[in-house]
Structure 1
Amino acid sequence: MSCANDGTFTVIVAGDENEYIYTVSCDHSGGTNWYHPHFHGSSALQTNGGAAGMLIIEPGVRESADTPMLYQSLPEQYLIIQSLSEQCLMIQSLLELYLIIQDFSVQDLTAYSLMSGDAVFDTNIQDPFATVNGCTGGSQVINVEAGQWTRLRTLHSGNLYNAIVTIEPAAAGANTPLCDVVLLQKDGAWLGTVPRTVQGTAPGEAPALFFTPSSRNDVAVRCAGAGAKHEIRYAQVNNALRADPEVIATLEVSPSTRPPAADLPQWSPCRPAYLQDLTGLTPQQLGNAYPIELRQTINNAQFSGPEDYMHELELAVPEQWLVTGTDLHPLHVHVNHFQIGKVTAANQWAEAPEWLQEGDYMDSLSAKGSVQLLVRPERFSGVMIIHCHITSHADQGMMAVFNIKGKGADALSPPQVAAGDFGTCPFLVPQSAPFRGTPATIPGVIEAEQFDTGGQNIAYWNDNTDDLAGPVPPRSLEAVEVVASTDGATTSVTSIRAGEWLKYTVNVEQTGTYGLTMFSVRREGSTSSTYALVATLSTGPGRKGVSWSLWSGQRSCPTDPKETTGLVSRVADSNLKLSDDADVYGAYVAPEPAALTAGPQTLLLCFDKDMVNARIDSLALRYCAASAALCAPRLAAAAAAAAARNDALLNPVAPPPPPPAVPATEPVPAKPVPAKPVAAKPVAAKPVAAKPVAAKPVAAKPVAAKPVAAKPVAAKPVAETGARA
Structure 2
Amino acid sequence: MPIPKRPADLRRSRAGLAALATLTLPALLAAAPAGAQDAALRRFANPPVALPEASLGVPPPSSLVEQKRGAVAAPDTRGTIVYDFDIRMVEGKIYNPWTKTDDTVKLRAYQGTMVDPAVPFLAPTITMKPDQTARITLNNRLEPEPGCERNILSVNVPHCFNTTNLHSHGLWVSPTGNSDNVMITIKPGVSFQYEYNVPNDHPAGTFWYHPHNHGSTALQVSSGMAGALIIKDERKPFVTGEGRKVPGDIDILLKDSKGEAFPDKAIVFEQVQYACRDAEGHIEPWDKSLGVTLSPWDCEKGQVGQITSYDQFGPNTQWQNSGRFTSINGRVQPLIDGVTAGRFERWRLIHAGVRETVNVQFQRLKPGAPDARTVAAADQPAWIAANCQGAPLPSWEIALDGLTRAQARQTARSILQPGYRVDLVTYFPDEGSYCVLDSSSTGSANVSATDKEARLLGVVQATKGTAPSSADPAALLRDQMTEAARRTLDGAVLEEVVAGLANNLRLENFVWHKTVEEKELTGAQELVFNITTDPSGNAVFQVNGESFQPNRIDRDLLLGSVDQWTLTSELASHPFHIHVNPFQIVEIRNNEGVDVSGNALPANAADEQYRGLKGTWKDTLWVQNAGSSTPNKGKYTVVVRTRYQRYIGEFVLHCHILDHEDQGMMQNVRISVPDGKGGIAHAHH
For normalisation by structure 2, the TM-score amounts to 0.49
Computing the radius of gyration over CA atoms, which structure comes out larger, 1 or 2?
A: 1
Greater helix proportion:
2
TM-score (norm 1): 0.47
